[in-house]
Each structure stands twice: as C-alpha cells, then as structure tokens.
C-alpha cells in the first residue's frame, strides 16, 4: 500500500486544495484576516443598493424627468382625443343638416348686357360703361341667402379688364328668383392696336365676346341661424351683337361655384 504524504506544517496550503479529513464531517477553517484589518458581517436583508456619489445626481434627474414625460404624453393624447371628438361631432352635424335641408347652390345667368363708351376709330383711351343684369335663382326650400358687402363684378375682353363694379346688398329667401342690375364703369383704358383691330372684326360679324366675373360673399340662413361667410364665384361668357346701347345678347354660358371656407 502507498504511503500518504502530509504537507509540512510550515508550508502554506496550495490554491484550490484543502487540508483535513472531510470524511469526518469537518470543514476547513477560514483563513485569518491580515493584521490591522476588520471583518464586518451584515445580514442580507439589511443590504441596500445605493448609487455611487458620481451617479446620484444623474439618478435624481432621471427620476424627475420620468413623471414630466408621462404627464406630457397624457396631455398630448387628451388633446388628440378632443380634436378627434370635435371632428366627429362636426361631421355628424353637417350630415344631419344636409339630410334635413338638402342644400344646393343658387343658379346664376346674365339676362341683360348693354355696352357703351367704346370708340374703336380713335387711338385715345376709352371709358366704357356696361349695364349688366344678373338673375339669381335660389331653389332651396328652407335656406335663405344673404348677399353681403365686398362683392365685385368685372367685365373682360380677352385679358383686358374693361370695367368693374359690385352687386347690391340684399337677402334672397328660399324658393326665390331675384334679378339685380349693376352699372360697371372703366376709366381711361388703353387698348392696343391689335385689340382694336380684333374688336372691329368681331363687330362686323356681330359677335363680340366678353367675360363677366362675379365674386360675392354670402351667408346662408338656416332657420334663425346664419352660417359663416362663404364666397360665390360666377363666370359667364357673353357674346353681344354691337358695342352700343341697346346691345343684344347672342349667346351666354355661365358656370358657378361656392368656396365654403
């Protein structure tokens, strides 16, 4: 049988090896601490995680920012929800109004068009005058139309703005046809030789084309309530037989639209 070799008493124990007899239930003793040192044992339930001093300020800033971000997020979500709710309510209201009143845009046409003050035989500036009669038909059964201040009526020959004026202020009730007459004037309009030549040729054919442009601010009356201000846009192509009163309308064609906002 091989003999058991015991380490010397003064030789230090090797790392990773323990001396002693484990079969008897004894465990190796803990090494003694070096001189001038202390060992303090603290129970595990009394150990707390404390940030080092250099990170304490950063931890405080982060703890303050989190509630602010959360509050801002909540406010933003509430704002979006309120906007969405208002849009839904506005859409429902408009749908109900449309189903109840069935609104339709008024229809417009030029019923009279008289021209004077255009002399094509002289190169001097002209001061034309136009008497334009506009017919407005409100076919709505429950909606009235207020025509307010700030309207404009212009007459063009090609790209030349010959004269301007405005519609009168009036109220048009439901199921009503209103005819208004407006006088338009122009002052010292200089026509080029090409424009004069073209107008003379069209006068000889008795087909002088003009374009009438109308812009009128209106408000719709729904029961006893007035809506916001809207803009009616009317464009009419009118052809007359001569450039003196009384002029006769040869052809006319109007288009109209309403800007709701």
pLDDT of residue 260: 84
The candidate with the shortest Cα–Cα distance to 220, out of 169, 144, 149, 168, is 144
pLDDT at 89 over 70: yes
**Residues of the chain with pLDDT > 70: what percent?**
69
Number of helices and strands in the chain (H, E): 2, 11
More confident residue, 179 or 141: 179
Identify the band that residue 88 occupies on the pLDDT scale cut at 50, 70 and 90.
confident
Q: Tell me, what's the pLDDT at 157?
A: 97
Domain 107-259 CATH class label = mainly beta
Q: Is the pLDDT of residue 175 over 60?
A: yes
**Would the pLDDT of 10 be above 60?**
no
Flag whether pLDDT at 108 surpasses 50: yes
For residue 72, pLDDT beyond 90: no
> What is the C-alpha to C-alpha distance for residues 188 and 210, in angstroms, rounded to an integer?
18
Q: Is the pLDDT of residue 135 over 80?
A: yes
Give the confidence band of 172 by pLDDT, cuts at 50, 70, 90.
very high
Token digits for 238?
Answer: 């009118």
Task: Identify the residue with better confidence: 25 or 104.
Answer: 104
**Which pLDDT value is given to residue 34?**
63
pLDDT for position 73: 74
Residue closest to 185 by CA, chosen among 213, 203, 214, 161? 161
The confidence band for 141, taking pLDDT boundaries of 50, 70 and 90, is confident
Cα–Cα distance measured from residue 261 to residue 257, given in angstroms and rounded to the nearest whole number: 12
Provide the CB-side half-sphere exposure for 154 (13 A, CA).
12
Confidence of residue 79 (pLDDT cuts 50, 70, 90): confident
Q: In b/e form, how buried is each residue of 38-76, taking b as 16+ CB within 10 angstroms?
A: eeeeeeeeeeeeeeeeeeeeeeeeeeeeeeeeeeeeeee
Region 78-84 average pLDDT: 85
Q: How confident is the model at residue 105 (pLDDT cuts 50, 70, 90)?
A: confident
Q: Which of the four pLDDT bands, split at 50, 70 and 90, describes residue 85? A: confident
Mean pLDDT over each residue of the chain, to the nearest integer: 81
More confident of the two residues 14 and 151: 151
The partner residues of 225 in beta bridges, in order of sequence, read 222
Report how far residue 167's alpha carbon sits from residue 246's, in angstroms, rounded to the nearest whole number.
Answer: 21
Question: What is the number of other CB atoms lying within 10 angstroms of the CB of residue 244?
Answer: 14
Q: Where are the domains of the chain?
A: 72-101, 107-259
Kindly provide the residue ranges of all beta strands, DSSP E only, lying in the chain, ordered along the sequence. 107-116, 129-138, 143-147, 152-157, 160-165, 170-172, 176-185, 208-222, 225-226, 230-240, 249-259
**Higher pLDDT residue, 47 or 139?**
139
Q: CA-to-CA distance for 104 and 167, rounded, in angstroms?
A: 21
Residue 217, helix vs strand vs coil:
strand
**Poorest-confidence range of 56-70, 159-173, 194-208?**
56-70
Total residues belonging to the chain = 261
């Amino acid at each position: 049988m091989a003999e058991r070799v015991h380490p010397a008493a003064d030789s230090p124990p090797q790392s990773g090896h323990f001396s002693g007899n484990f079969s008897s239930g004894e465990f190796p003793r803990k090494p003694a601490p070096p001189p001038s040192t202390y060992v303090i044992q603290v129970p595990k339930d009394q150990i707390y995680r404390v940030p080092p001093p250099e990170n304490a300020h950063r931890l405080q800033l982060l703890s303050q920012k989190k509630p602010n971000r959360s509050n801002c997020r909540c406010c933003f979500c509430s704002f979006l929800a309120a906007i969405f709710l208002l849009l839904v309510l506005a859409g429902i209201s408009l749908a109900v109004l449309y189903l109840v009143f069935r609104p339709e845009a008024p229809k417009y046409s030029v019923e009279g068009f008289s021209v004077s003050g255009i002399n094509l035989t002289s190169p001097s500036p002209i001061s034309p005058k136009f008497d334009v009669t506009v017919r407005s038909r409100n076919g709505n059964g429950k909606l009235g139309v207020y025509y307010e201040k700030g309207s404009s009526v212009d007459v063009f020959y090609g790209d030349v703005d010959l004269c301007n004026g405005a519609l009168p202020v009036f109220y048009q009730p439901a199921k009503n046809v209103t005819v208004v007459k407006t006088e338009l004037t122009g002052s010292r309009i200089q026509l080029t030789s090409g424009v004069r030549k073209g107008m003379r040729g069209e006068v000889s054919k008795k087909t002088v084309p003009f374009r009438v442009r109308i812009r009128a601010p209106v408000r719709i009356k729904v029961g006893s309530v007035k809506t916001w201000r809207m803009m009616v846009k009317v464009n009419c192509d009118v052809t007359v037989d001569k450039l003196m009163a009384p002029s006769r309308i040869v052809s006319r064609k109007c288009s109209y639209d309403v800007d709701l906002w």
